[in-house]
Amino acid sequence: MTHLTLQAITRRFGAVHAIDNVDLSVPDGKLVCFLGPSGCGKTTLLRMIAGLETPSSGSIHFAGRDITRLPANRRDFGMVFQSLALFPHMTVAQNVAYPLKLRKVAKEKQTRRVAELLELIQLPHMANRPVTQLSGGQRQRVAIARAIASEPQLLLLDEPLSALDAKLREAMQVEIRLLQQRLGITTIMVTHDQREAMTMADEIVVMEKGRIAQVGKPLDIYRDPVSEFVADFIGLGNILPVQYDGAGGVSLPGGRRIEVAQNPRAPRAPLTGAGQPVQAGDAIRLLIRPEDICVKAATDAASPNRLPGTVTFIRDVGASLEATIDCSGFTLTAATTPRETPGLALGMPVLAELPPHACKLIAARAAH
């Protein structure tokens, strides 16, 4: 069941179209991330769902009801913001109990619910501690417990982890995801961190300049981005300007031809992600992810998709290894491991193999 639907939502601030004609369905019980660069409209969209901002046009429905103009305090959604906004003069338990108190829940029930929630966030022993005496991660958990105290049907999180250091942030990503799955609560989270979105989301909504660039499961978007913008924003990728030759091949910068697999969605000619059949001579982009490039010894047999190059940089972090390869006219980044490519060294001539099935053709970014 789809719980939340946005129809043709637009929000203008003067001449700025912060959100431009957005349609979206958020499935029940899922965690959806709004992902995109700064200023793309993520927060504005979340605030409209929360009721803290009113759309200029369009409608928002929740559980079958039009809530477009319903005030925030009557939506009963749980919210956690970047600042967390915990009450500093209160204890952990008082913070968590606050929404229950507002709703005039009976005292005994409040106590029971707070105990349950503190158990859930694994801080039962800290009930009486002032929130100012907690670590960043503990404060984070208290903010979440407070947001879900009154059992909201929708949880809205706006960059809730951005104040935490990298290690704690990764731990909290897993913690929030597990909690969300356990409770089955429909959750929308704003982030500009693609790794965070990939780790946590059932679905990612990639946003670009007030519009939705792509919606999908994290790996589907990673493997099949619809545009250069999405390909560039999600994960590391080699994106090369190429020309399609009309016969299953592309010419790379410098003129060398390689073969690309037929896109399964287009039986006759590869499709760009935008859904347009590619014509011979079209300027498009070739996307190949670093982990799909095989680095071979320069003495291996030549083939059309094995490109001669020279290793110009190596980032070796122990478990994995990233090599930059200069192929005269363009560079490629290949991800490998010390075991797969023993003896790889700077200045070494190699062959970079681009398997045809891993070469994706995508629409070039629109000129500005």
CB of 77 to ligand ATP, least distance (A): 18
Sheet bearing 257-259, strands edge to edge: 257-259, 249-251, 238-244, 283-288, 360-362
- Judged by beta carbon, residue 36 or residue 225, the one nearer ligand ATP is 36
- Residues 184-213: x where in contact with ligand ATP by CB under 6 A, - otherwise, as a string: --------x---------------------
- CA 9 → CA 158, 159, 233, distances in Å? 19, 22, 24
CB of 118 to ligand ATP, least distance (A): 31
CB of 53 to ligand ATP, least distance (A): 8
- Residues 8-47: x where in contact with ligand ATP by CB under 6 A, - otherwise, as a string: -----x--x-x-----------------x-xxxxxxx---
- Judged by beta carbon, residue 71 or residue 184, the one nearer ligand ATP is 71
Distance between CA atoms of residues 78 and 98, nearest Å:
12
> Residue 273 half-sphere exposure, CB side, CA atoms within 13 Å?
26
- Judged by beta carbon, residue 182 or residue 368, the one nearer ligand ATP is 368
CB of 227 to ligand ATP, least distance (A): 18
* In the block, residue with structure tokens 């996307």: 287
- Judged by beta carbon, residue 44 or residue 263, the one nearer ligand ATP is 44
Q: How many residues bind ligand ATP (CB under 6 A)?
A: 12
Give which of 362, 35, 43 is closest to 208, Cα–Cα.
35
CB of 196 to ligand ATP, least distance (A): 13
CB of 72 to ligand ATP, least distance (A): 16
- CA 53 → CA 21, 45, 144, 308, distances in Å? 16, 8, 22, 55
- Judged by beta carbon, residue 121 or residue 205, the one nearer ligand ATP is 205
CB of 309 to ligand ATP, least distance (A): 37
CB of 52 to ligand ATP, least distance (A): 11
Q: What amino acid occupies position 214?
A: Q
- Judged by beta carbon, residue 39 or residue 58, the one nearer ligand ATP is 39
Residues at the contact surface with ligand ATP, assessed by CB under 6 A: 13, 16, 18, 36, 38-44, 192
